[in-house]
Amino acid sequence: MEPEMEGIRKLRRFIQLRHVETLSSCANNTAINHDLHFPPASKMNTHALRSAPLTMLRACSSAAARTPRLCILDKWLHSRGLMTDPTGTNKDSPQAVPLRKHLKEEAKKKKALARASGGQTRGKKAIDPRLEEWELTVGIEIHAELNTAKKLFSSALADDGAVDLESAPNSRVAAFDAALPGAQPLFQAATLLPAVRGALVLGCEIQRVSGWDRKHYFHWDQPNGYQITQYYRPFAVNGSLTLTAADGVPEEDLTGGQELQIGIKQVQMEQDTAKTINVAGSRYQIDLNRAGLPLIEIITLPHIHSPQTAAAVVRKIQTLLRATDVCVRGMEHGGLRADVNVSVRRRGSTGPGAGYGGVQGLGQRTEIKNLSSFKAVEDAIIAERNRQINVLEAGGVVEGETRGWTLGASETTRLRGKEGEVDYRYMPDPDLGPLVIGHDLVEFLRSGMPELPDETVARVEREYGLSTKDAKTIVALDDGDRLEYMEEVVELLTERVSTFDKARAGKLAANWILHELGGLLTSQSDGIPSNWTDVNVNPAELADLLAALAHKEVTARAAKQLLGMLQDDDIRTTSETFSVEQLIDEHGLRLRPLTDKGYLELAQAIVEANPDMVAAVRDKGQKGKVMWFVGQMVRQGEEGTVEPEKARKVVEGLLLE
Amino acid sequence: MNRLVLTPRVVQVAALNPIRKTLSTAVWQHALNVPEDKQAQSKEGQVDVKKALEKPTWSVSSLLPPKDQKNTPKVSSKQLHHLLRLSALPPPKTDEEESKLLSTLSSHLHFVQEIQKVDTSGVEPLRSLRDETIAGQKDAELGLDALSEALEQEEIRGKHHKRIRRRKDFVENEKLDWDPLAAAGKKVGRYFVIEGGKEGT
């Protein structure tokens, strides 16, 4: 989330620059210092900033409007040391516009691809005529690492990645994990908490009795020569997952409805394998820390009919597992991995594939193993779907085989076919008794389920008046801590400001917590972005600050300065007592409102000094430029004296009436 | 080599799954079913042990192919190599060794096929010897009591936005009391080292 916000900030800054540049070129080379363009986007004028450039561009003569765009991009890149010689003679420099080059190459690739597939573009609107004819069917198996203290069958510590990333290789290994002769598995009951919660959140029925099988294969990631799994006797069955358009399901898949149900065939517990690192040639290093970690494997029914929905399923499952503390490491950290089963058949026809989970008549399926990102899931399915259609249209036969996919590839590659298929020789593990899960435990966990992310987002929208986007952002950030912080601020703020209801306080608090406080975290003076845990400002202080702002004791600009002080480590450690009130007084930031006369005089001075801008507003009707004057007033007026809203009224009075 | 082939694992390989049936109690009930009239019971209802053991009523050899019958291998050479590879066993060095292996394997198969003739429908496989009484299952059940310690190691985080979180401070950072690498044939630093030959399996 943080990088995304950083991106938004950059974009906003870019738009500001472009805005100013356009202004200056329209206003016939009025010299404007690049550092002076805009007041830091305050709450009030952000909206104006966002919408301004478009109207500006339209208002300018077309020639003037078109050329500056390049020129500004150029300057912008240049100012950040990103742009090399614009004539392109300096191509070998390592600084050579990597992003631009990358985008160009991407576009080229896509064009070539579109040409190759018969001139279709991959745009959203362009529907591949072949997809009208062929139906895609996908089922997914997701392996999720359970959040537990111990391994599945030994008391060795499970490295959950959160505490001790640096733990030495082969330091969390019990005799059983290393398959020492005579070592016996001992089921660790605590692993049931995340496992059962994970199954419940996917709507599964928990089986009172389930069992353990050995799945045999010899590979160096598996010291025992078998993996203990529950494929034939899983502890949870018959679940379902509900998806909506908001989860990223394309409209075609919803077929007119509001939501889509994806059946979950079963959820089983099993062991993870050791980590193997290929060091050179055929030499591998083995770390058994991961061997025997508890996983759940979630198997969906073949109810998925588009690559986007497949990615949405995996994303949704990850979100649900995280919200219930089942799984703490996401796909990006290898805590979640997906295998997909893909088949195609002509719409309305019956394929030769074997039935699966009660679904018959599908095409022959292939399995693509070990996908480790949402994008990989989507792209691998697209590539495999296209490959299978090509094979079938050319009169060929799709083989039942296992295939692989690497990110960025345009095709899946064959790993092994049927004749090389491993026969796992499943057998019940005689060392382990059946797993018997008590009804009381299941009911206890069911009744104690936390609020799920969709419910939280809906509640935040409803109670605090946030937009869906902001609500989603704040819910997703910092493992829910940021939302907790916001709710605390809102509670305190409604106590402090009598005119604020929850929604008004919510919107203000969310804006400051997401954007202002979030901004402080990403732009630390040492250049290292901080985490949410580095926030020094406590909810009471932020509530005090926002109350002062609401009571018009400080300007928004001063409030931002104060927020910076509240967050500053040095100021906090040197000040003995620390309150927002004190800071306001110490730094003379209390709003001393200008008299109406003061506003008028300040505005007049600026108007007189900038006849060109005045002409732009008065004669050309560029009303958006009023905000430029407002910016000037805030900057030129004494600190803490000019309120932008009021300044705007005065400027409008002077220029437009 | 023959001895190696006779390990239970290879019997499983040969059976290619029906191992569950072979292990079932039904098989042994069937095999040991002693007809009424042969029961060595005295009139007083006392078992005459000596008499009972005098004459075998059944022999494993009845499940093996007759000695004079020429063994026609039902397993191809290719299948044999595949099975050996799956079991991480070395391939035969000579043709003679291979035909011997094939012959042993097909007598295994004969044995398994005989056993498969037993009707086990509706019989739960015996997976291991455990207390299967209701009380026994109750003992094995993992309910709230069994999980109470684990539940204590969780907390509800948040006053407004309540979330369940496993507490990490409970994880004792105990030192390993043994060195997993001590028996390693080859190691680098704290890693086991494998010379993998060709890529993957």
Give per-residue pLDDT as tens, B49-106. 888 888 888 888 888 877 766 655 578 898 899 889 888 899 999 999 999 999 888 8
Task: Please check the confidence at residue A276 and state whether its pLDDT lies above 80.
Answer: yes
Model pLDDT, residue A85:
38
CB B86 to CB A422 under 8 A?
yes
Measured N-to-C along each axis, helices A481-496 and A453-464 cross at an angle, to the nearest 10 degrees, of 20
Q: What is the pLDDT of residue B97?
A: 95
Strand partners, A177: none
Q: Beta strands of A65-187 (E only): which ranges?
A: 134-145
Interface touch B178/A175, C-beta < 8 Å: yes
Residues 6+ apart with CB under 8 A from B176: A171, A172, A173
Rounded to whole angstroms, the Cα distance separating A373 from A330 reads 9
User: Are the beta carbons of A49 and A12 closer than 8 angstroms?
Assistant: yes
Identify all chain A residues contacting B140, using CB atoms and an 8 Å cutoff.
433-434, 436
Distance from C-alpha of A394 to C-alpha of A389, rounded to nearest angstrom? 8
- Give chain B's end-to-end CA distance (angstroms, integer): 24
Q: How many helices (H) and strands (E) does chain B have?
A: 9, 4
- pLDDT of residue A39 exceeding 70, the answer is no
Are A293 and A273 a contacting pair, CB within 8 Å? no
For the record, the structure tokens of A570 come out as 């040095």
Kindly state the average pLDDT of the residues A563-584. Answer: 82
Question: What's A514's DSSP letter?
Answer: I
Q: What is the amino acid identity at position A222? A: Q
AA letter at A595 = T
Rounded to an integer, what distance in angstroms lies between the CA atom of residue B143 and that of residue A438? 4
Q: Is the pLDDT reported for residue B108 higher than 80? A: yes
Looking at every residue in chain B, the average pLDDT score rounds to 76
For the record, the structure tokens of B200 come out as: 């993957």
Task: Return the structure tokens found at A219.
Answer: 């590979």
A466 vs A642, residue with greater confidence: A466
Q: Tens digit of pLDDT for each residue in A446-465?
A: 999 999 999 999 999 999 99
Residue identified by tokens 């733990």 is A167
Distance from CA of B31 to the nearest CA of A (A): 23
Q: Are B111 and B19 in contact (CB under 8 A)?
A: no
Amino acid A423: pLDDT: 80
Nearest by Cα to A599 from A556, A566, A635, A646: A646
pLDDT band for position A584 (cuts 50, 70, 90) = confident
In chain B, residues with a C-beta closer than 8 Å to the C-beta of A159 are none
Which of A70-84, A122-136, A512-526, B178-192 is least confident? Answer: A70-84
Kindly state the average pLDDT of the residues A75-100.
Answer: 44
CA distance A368 to A403: 5
Please indicate whether, in this complex, the C-beta atoms of B86 and A218 are within 8 angstroms of each other: yes
Quick one: average pLDDT of A397-402? 90
At residue A559, φ and ψ (nearest 5 deg) are -60, -40
Strand partners, A268: A297
Q: Which of A169, A189, A425 faces B12 most closely, judged by CB atoms? A: A425
Answer whether A484 sits within 8 Å of B159, measured CB to CB. yes
pLDDT band at A597 (very low <50, low <70, confident <90, very high): confident
pLDDT at A76: 44
B162, B170, B196: residue with CB nearest A149: B170
Residues 272-291 of A with CB under 8 A from B: 276-279, 282-288
| Domain locations in chain A as residue ranges | 2-83, 129-435, 453-586, 596-656
Closest partner residue to A218 (CB to CB) among B88, B142, B189 is B88
Does A270 contact B at CB distance below 8 Å?
Answer: no
pLDDT at A469: 92
Look at A171 and B190 and tell me if their CB atoms are within 8 Å: yes
Which one is predicted more confidently, A277 or B29? A277
Q: Which positions ≥6 away from A229 have C-beta within 8 Å? A: A212, A213, A214, A215, A268, A269, A270, A271, A297
Reading the block at residue A639, the tokens are 């600190």
Span A70-84, mean pLDDT?
Answer: 44
Average pLDDT over residues A357-373: 89
Residue B142: list chain A partners with CB under 8 A: 189, 192, 435-438, 441
The number of angstroms, rounded, from the C-alpha of A565 to the middle of its chain's C-alpha atoms is 30
- Binary contact (B137, A209; C-beta < 8 A): yes
Q: Regarding beta strands A402-404 and A366-371, do their DSSP bridges make them parallel or antiparallel, or are they unpaired?
A: parallel
Report phi then psi at A590, rounded to 5: -65, 135
Mean pLDDT along residues A159-181:
76
Contact: B161, A437; criterion CB under 8 Å: no
pLDDT per residue as tens digits for the range A3-21: 445 555 554 554 444 443 3
Question: pLDDT confidence of A409, banded at 50, 70, 90?
Answer: confident
Name the residue of chain B whose CA is nearest to A177's CA.
B180
Which of the four pLDDT bands, split at 50, 70 and 90, describes residue A310?
very high
Give B16-69 as a DSSP string: TSTHHHHHSHHHHHHHT---GGG--B-TTS-B-HHHHHHS-S--GGGGSPPTTS
Helix A62-79 vs helix A2-26: crossing angle, to nearest 10: 130
Residue A82 has pLDDT above 70, yes or no: no
What percent of chain A lies above the pLDDT cut of 90? 47
**What pLDDT does A164 receive?**
47
How far is residue A192's CA from residue A444's CA, in Å, rounded to a whole number? 13
Token match 């990088």: residue?
A: A3
* pLDDT band at residue A577 using 50, 70 and 90 as cut-offs: low
Task: Output the pLDDT for position A525.
Answer: 60
Window 134-173 of A: residues touching B by CB (8 A cutoff) are 147-149, 157, 160, 162-163, 168-173
